[in-house]
Amino acid sequence: MKLALPRIARHIPPRLPVYVVAAFVVYSLVMLSYSVSSWRQMKRSADSYILADSARRAASVTDLSDMARANAAVHADLSEVHAFLLNRDLGMSMRYGLGASLQAIENRFRQHVKTDPPALADRIVFLAEDGTRLVDTQPDVPLPLLPEATPERPGLLVDAARGLLVTAARVDHKGAPGGTVVTIGSPRFLYRNLITGQDGGGSGNDREVLITAAGQQLANGAASLPIVLLRALQNVPSDRVIRAEFLGRTGVRQVDLDETLLVKTAVPGIPLYLIRLLPKERAYGHITPVGVLAAFAVVLILLFAGAVYLDRMRVLAEQMKADISASQQERQSAEQRNMELAAEIWRREIVEKALAASEERWELAIKGANDGIWDWNPQTGEVHFSERWKSMLGLADNEIANAYQEWESRIHPDDFQRVMHELSSHLDRKTEFYQCEYRIRHKQGHYIWLLDRGQALFDAEGHAVRMAGSHADITERRTAEMQAQERLEQLHAIFELSPDGFVSFDIAGHVSYVNPAFLGMTHLQESEVMGLRELAFSDLLSGLCRTDSRFPGIEEPGRTAQSANRRERLELSGAGQRVLEVGVRSGAGQRVSKILYFHDVTSESEVDRMKSEFLSTAAHELRTPMASIYGYAEVLMAMEFEAEERKTYLGRIFRQAELMVSIINELLDLARIEARRGKDFVFERVDLRVLTHEAVTGFKPPEGRDPPVLDLTRSAVWVTVDRKKMQQAINNVLSNAYKYSPAGGAVEVDLLPGRGESDLSGVRIEVRDFGIGLTPAQIARVCERFFRADASGVIPGTGLGMSIVKEIMEFQHGQVLIASEPGAGARVSLWLPGGRSI
């Protein structure tokens, strides 16, 4: 049997308890639904009971009202009343007998007032048939409105406003009306069988009140309901059980109506309503609250959830069991590893001792090298800095923590990325060693240069577990290097920017450097020159020279001390026919053997040539009149001439002298313009139309020639020029126009818009003549000094006028434009930029 049970248990599905619980929950929920149905039926029964009870209690109010009516009838049937009526029938006078009868009635009434139930008849009145008040227990109080009464049924009136319950009973005396007895009580009487909330028991939400159809509450001695609630009650339907808290939604909040039921029942026979407030607990207390059923349902759900949870826990327990088994296996494995680890520890201790000795030796070596040592654990960030390492940074031993950040935070920002790159490369095993030169902040704020070197140890997985290295202070070396580099850069810049060419040869005699100026002078490429031996270089350079000029070679200049500063002049055939001066210097250092120096003197040569040519030309131009003057003067001194003839000769001398003066003046003008480079120009904003007009009208044409024809129909043209210089230029052009139109013809001056050679818009003063004209070659040279289109010398002139015009126009940013054909006259334009018309 003992063995059978486990076997049976093994065959029970593991989830059977869950299924059982689920079945139980389903069964319970079905039962619960029946319970809810029963709850509803019981609630309806309770409501029916409440309604019936309210109807019964309302009927009791009717009974009390009937009691009040009956009481009035009793008073109307008192013997004293009948005695009075009998005595009255007997003819007794009011003074001598009836008064006593009335007094007896009053006494009886007063007795009834005392003995009648409270509030039933606080006041009793006996009225005669004609309404005369015969007896009144409160004679000083006016009568209220009386109800209608019939001989068969006393009348009843509820005056809610005044709090009166009035009944009236007709007195029947021997089958005839004998007056009316009125009892006046309080509506409190109607509350005798009701729960009033105070004396009658009950609490604020357990009481009954009577209200009229108009919503007035009959006073009952207890606290009245709020008016808002009474108003709300008017709209409450009768004979229904209502949850009173719904009235709270209508704004009735003065009364705590929570958990309160309300029933409104019409009182039969009188226009009143019974309002019944009762706690819900009293009405439905015997019924299991639906909340309990709901809670039970929740319990069932929780039970089901608990079963599922327990099943889940069972599954987890099985898993845990399997895990424990696996864990035990791992533990055995771990114990084996521990033993192996112990052996490894023993082995490592031996190694560490050896390592300690090695480190000691290493420390000694490092101290000898005066380097700082660091030892970094990348996994913990802890770094050991040696005392020397700290002292390099001006730090005492206790002024820095053994932390990676202490080092990292001191690296110069400009070097940081580079250092990190080097470090990462090594930690990523991209480099065998870590080495980097960088700046690090000294305690005093300045930076020192370090040579940082180190190497990391990696574990089997390639992770760095330790890294150690040294710092060497290389500040002095780096400073020297930087100074040398700076000097080198300065020299490089000088050579690069120098207009003179430099070629250096190394100690082996190969070209090791050529600067851009040399390449520009010779139009050679650097690749053609670099590495050439001296001889090859000499041949290459000689090949560039004109045939009448040759490169003397490199060796020759520097052989003697006298030749050290000697410079040779080379004239290159190509490359713009440059003229170069070549000097050579021996190298002072160990790396440079020679340096060739090339200075471009092309311009100086051209100037020298032009000066020579100019002096030759000027001397020639001056010599011609001077020769005439000299000849005529010599003739006049040597010979006697008639006065007329002598005058003629003197006139020739005078004209030649005048020509010489003109040449000299114009030379002076030209020289002044060139020398001052326009600094003596007085620029002002002038109307070119006015200026031209003044120049033309001020011009004196040669004898027998018409003045220039001026066409100035344009409006004002404003330009910025030197007024006098501009007038001088116009005069020179006009003078040429007349000179070179010896056959006559008009000279026209016009002011026109036009574009210069650079296609800029501007204005030009155009002077047209109809003379001999110019060939293109003459036009090209017309502005050269001493150039004259008339080679015959018939046309007088110095050959400097147009040179002056050109200089004037160029200093005013203008141009001289010439258009001419031989024999067709010429058009010379003085073009100026701008010239805005107004």
Pick the closer one to another protein by CB: 98 or 721: 98
Strand partners, 717: 837
Site string (30-69) toward another protein, x via CB under 8 A: ----------------------------------------
In the complex with another protein, the residue whose CB is nearer, 79 or 235, is 79
Q: Nearer Cβ to another protein, position 110 or 367?
A: 110
Q: How far is the CB of 81 from another protein (least distance, A)?
A: 10
Out of 9, 96, 642, 759, the residue judged to bind another protein by CB under 8 A: 96
> How many chain residues interact with another protein (CB under 8 A)?
23
Token code pair at residue 123? 């006041």
For the record, the structure tokens of 487 come out as 């000097």
SS3 448: strand
The reply on whether position 90 binds another protein by CB under 8 A is yes
Pick the stretch among 100-108, 591-599, 744-752, 777-785 that binds another protein (CB under 8 A): 100-108
Tell the smallest beta-carbon distance from residue 271 to another protein (Å): 39
Contact with another protein (CB under 8 A) among 50, 104, 184, 544: 104
- Based on the shown chain and the rule CB under 8 A, indicate whether residue 150 belongs to the binding site for another protein: no
Q: How far is the CB of 192 from another protein (least distance, A)?
A: 29
Closer to another protein by Cβ: residue 99 or 833: 99
Min dist. Cβ of residue 119 to another protein (A): 23
The least CB distance from residue 171 to another protein, in Å, is 15
106 interacts with another protein by CB under 8 A? yes
Contact between 290 and 36 under an 8 Å Cβ cutoff? The reply is yes
At 589, the amino acid letter reads G
Q: Which is nearer to another protein, 172 or 790 (CB)?
A: 172
Q: How far is the CB of 105 from another protein (least distance, A)?
A: 9
Does position 291 bind another protein by CB under 8 A? no
Would you say 91 or 793 has its CB closer to another protein? Answer: 91
Q: Does 91 bind another protein (CB under 8 A)?
A: yes
CB 256 within 8 A of CB 240: no
The greatest distance separating any two alpha carbons of the chain, rounded to the nearest whole angstrom, comes to 214
- Shortest Cβ 253–another protein spacing (Å): 47
Q: 3-state class of 611 per DSSP?
A: helix
CA 387 to centroid of chain Cα atoms: 49
Q: How far is the CB of 58 from another protein (least distance, A)?
A: 40
- In DSSP terms, 763 is beta-bridged to 753, 832
Q: Which of 28, 39, 97, 500 binds another protein (CB under 8 A)?
A: 97
- If phi > 0 it is left, if psi is from -120 to 50 it is alpha, else beta; for residue 547 that is alpha
Which range binds another protein by CB under 8 A, 98-106, 179-187, 215-223, 393-401?
98-106
Radius of gyration of the chain (CA): 71
Contact between 95 and another protein per CB under 8 A: yes
On whether the CB atoms of residues 799 and 786 are closer than 8 A, the answer is: yes
Residue 637 to residue 676: CA distance in whole angstroms: 43
Q: How far is the CB of 133 from another protein (least distance, A)?
A: 14
Q: If we measure between CA atoms, which residue out of 220, 212, 215, 156 comes closest to residue 194?
A: 220
DSSP per-residue codes, 412-425: -HHHHHHHHHHHHH
Binding residue (CB under 8 A) for another protein from 40, 44, 110, 384: 110
Q: How far is the CB of 100 from another protein (least distance, A)?
A: 5
d(CA 65, CA 231): 25
Q: Which of 57, 69, 75, 82 binds another protein (CB under 8 A)?
A: 82
Pattern of binders to another protein over 631-650, x per CB under 8 A? --------------------
From 41, 48, 79, 150, residue interacting with another protein (rule: CB under 8 A): 79
What the block records as the tokens of 802 is 């147009």
Q: In the complex with another protein, which residue's Cβ is closer, 108 or 207?
A: 108
Neighbours of 67 (CB within 10 A): 17
* Contact mark string toward another protein, 205..244, x via CB under 8 A: ----------------------------------------
Q: Are residues 785 and 803 in contact, defined by beta-carbon separation less than 8 angstroms?
A: yes
Q: Which is nearer to another protein, 80 or 750 (CB)?
A: 80
Q: Return d(Cα 763, Cα 833) in angstroms, integer.
A: 6
**626 SS3 class:** helix
Counting contacts by CB under 8 A, is residue 138 touching another protein?
no
**Rounded least distance, CB 201 to another protein, Å:** 37
Contact at 8 Å (CB) between 104 and 83? yes
Distance from C-alpha of 589 to C-alpha of 512, rounded to nearest angstrom: 14
**Position among 64, 102, 373, 828 found at the interface with another protein (CB under 8 A):** 102
Q: Residue 79 or 332: which CB sits closer to another protein?
A: 79
φ, ψ of residue 165 to 5 degrees: the values are -115, 105
Distance CA 680, CA 683 (A): 9
Asked if 397 contacts 390 with a C-beta cutoff of 8 angstroms, the reply is yes
Residue 84 or 304: which CB sits closer to another protein?
A: 84
Residues 556-575 that bind another protein (CB under 8 A): none
165 and 156 Cβ atoms separated by less than 8 Å: yes
Tokens of 519: 């390449």
| C-alpha closest to that of 156 among 61, 26, 47, 220 | 61
Q: Using CA atoms, how far apart are residues 821 and 562, in angstroms rounded to an integer?
A: 60
- The burial class, CB within 10 Å (0-12 / 13-18 / 19+), for 86 is middle
Closer to another protein at the Cβ: 100 or 468?
A: 100
- The answer to the question of residue 101 lying near another protein (CB under 8 A) is yes
Residue 103 binds to another protein (criterion: CB under 8 A): yes
Asked if 133 is part of the footprint of another protein (rule: CB under 8 A), the reply reads no
What beta strand segments (E) does 690-814 contain? 709-711, 717-722, 748-755, 761-769
Q: Residue from 30, 94, 355, 668 that binds another protein (CB under 8 A)?
A: 94
Place of tokens 């019964």: 56
CB of 106 to another protein, least distance (A): 6
- Is 128 one of the binding residues for another protein (CB under 8 A)? no
Burial class (CB in 10 A: 0-12, 13-18, 19+), 99: middle
Could you list the residues that contact another protein (CB under 8 A)?
79-80, 82-83, 86-87, 90-97, 99-104, 106-107, 110
